[in-house]
Structure 1
Amino acid sequence: MERHPSSERRPGSAGEVFRVFLKLGATSFGGPIAHLGHFRSELVVRRGWLDDREYGDLVALCQFLPGPASSQVGFAIGLHRAGLFGGLAAFAAFTLPSAALMVAFASGASLFTGPAGSGILIGLQIVAVAIVAQAVLGMTRTLSPDLRRASIAALAALTTLLLAGSAGQLIAIVGGAAAGLVLCRSDATGPGPALRVAVGRATGILAWVVLLALLACAPLLAAATGSGAVALFDAFFRSGALVFGGGHVVLPLLQSAVVDPGWVSDQDFLAGYGAAQALPGPLFTFSAYLGALSSTGPGGLLGAGIALVAIFLPGLLLLSGVLPFWNGIRRRAAAQAVMRGANAAVVGILAAALYSPLFTTAVRGPASFALALVCFVLLVAWRLPPWIVVLAGAGGGVLLAHLG
């Protein structure tokens, strides 16, 4: 895929952002790490909305913060492209497809059942391997091109593999940042162009105030009013505020929030979790399914909406509170060194995720490896758009299921 002309870097419209992220929301299978690969392929390589360095900075920042990292990156890119409405459009469009499917599943729809359905799931997992491999290849060239940063990336990959879960990722990012401060000060390339963000400092401070006020007041309000809707909001808001690493890390928090008090049965919880694995977009949309089924709160579409907004809101408020100060931080020499190390660590984290869980889960033999290789060649050599490769991979998965 060739990068679009430099005019693509000029501000766009919220409608344009919505259309692009709706396509990403409908085709970004494979979990948060794969989502970052989809974003890079579509927004950095194909459309040129930002470059690899800017993208790597955003990914590293969002890995530091609690919340769903891929959704936060999407929100930040929307802000960069088309202001506040662009950020909201990116979030809404990326979330909508999987949220709608999860609500449909809660209503009794049967998703991805039978041989064809299982074959599609196999194919989508294999496509995720190819997409992340493409992202690792491209980001290695730009974010860890020398011996020092390649070494940081390798150590970050080792750390992530040895310390499973979000703790390993966080330690890898912090360690990479510290190594960058020591090893990468001589890479005086400058901070690059300022990242456009439509959030002023006053708005950023207000976001911090709202976040802290909701954390403190929502449980008190739920206890004082006895409102099921407020209790539902509080449970999902606290879950979203406590998640580092996003994705699967939120599951034990959600189980504690809705299964332990008896709002959702354990059987229904596990069934929804299984369906969420099959869908594109952020895993946090599992909250829509739980909100729709919850015996506390209004249930149905309204319950789904409350749970969905509540679980994403802390991460978006936190990011909005940090972004107004981001360009000022990026201009400092020490901060540039830190970000170079953190960006190299991001490459290592992506490489570790490419191996586990993506490769170890999806590639189960020579046939599935061959399909992954074909998808990789279609992306890298043929430069086909990711959504076409997703469709090809799904069809290949159905064929593998019938042959196997």
Structure 2
Amino acid sequence: MSSRLHKIFTSITILFFITILTFFIIMLSAIRLNNIQSVEEQMKRDIDVVAADGGSRERILQRLMSPQGTSKLKLAAIYSPDRGLYGLWSVSPSYVEELPGDPASLRGTPLFTYNGIYEELVELPIPGYSGEKAAVIYQVLSARDLRPIVENLLYMISGYALFIVIFLFISISIDRNGKEQSFEYSGATVQEGAPEPETPEPGERNAGKSGAAEYSERARSDQQSGNARSHRQKNDKDFSAGENEIWPSDLMKLRLNNEIERSAENESDIGFAVFRLHKKLVSDTQALSLFEKELLKSFRYEDLIFHIQNGYYGIILPNQNQDECVKQIERFQRVCDSESINTENVFIGLSTRSGRLMSGDRLMKEGIRAASMANPGNGGFIQFKADPRKYRAHLSGTPG
């Protein structure tokens, strides 16, 4: 999962749980208030009925203790703030603080205690009895009340679980197909985004001063002659299998940087192709030698062909745009087929400068990454195609 998708997923998850908590509190409060209102209405009706008949306090208390909802009734009392309790019924003495043996001896307003979450004290004046009040403590929240809330929460959680499945499927698809770097095979592209490709560099050795000087001189000579081929003294330990004169990786990055600089000065394009060989081909000395000979025959400048590391070859393709590089590589594939070189064991990655100001290191990494993604299922050839708009946005630090 990309960093952007991870942030989106985290934000949505936090928002979901905030919504769940808010919904639970609102629903719980609504049910509680509705039950309190029902208790008040029922209590008022009971008091009015008894008071209208001139009933005594005992009858009012009995009416409040009627069988309707007695399982939720915790306390019923009639009292006067001046004279104290006239009558009391309670499921537990704990609902009244400092309750004496005789409730009638308790003077003043009694202090009722109850759980403020799922219980509520309701007090109403009694008509015809000056200053006297009827009080009940009622259970206003029960498991039955919570059932619809829990059911709705389960629906919401199920929906969120479905969202997670869909989100993961989308993120996996994006990771597979690429959002900022999308791979299209057999002449398709690896779309470039701002981040640097995370591909291990090939093993490199530091070039000596004499080699660098020789290289710089040869680069100037090549620029003057245009198509001149350089002749170098062989160094067998740096060459790959066979007798072919393929250059080691010592000078590859330096040469690639110079060619990119020349390309920028001349306003031309440049490509870098990476050939990744299957271990079957690498272990077959005869087939590998034939492959290297065809590399030297098929590509214009043999001094731009490098042995990166075991099974990896890099080729600099100067003065060629993406399409021209593709055509040359496809011609090489046809030559390999005609020479009985199994191209299913050759995987190719291509990247071009495409108007970007960049280093040879980046172009090399793009080519190696594309080659690492190539396989028989996608034709063994993948291109890294730059998106100039995203690249300019990356350089300017603005969103792509």
Q: Larger Cα Rg: Structure 1 or Structure 2?
A: 2
**Which structure is higher in helix share?**
1
The structure with the largest strand share of the pair is 2
> Which TM class, normalised by the smaller chain length?
under 0.3
Task: Tell me the TM-score normalised to structure 1 length.
Answer: 0.21
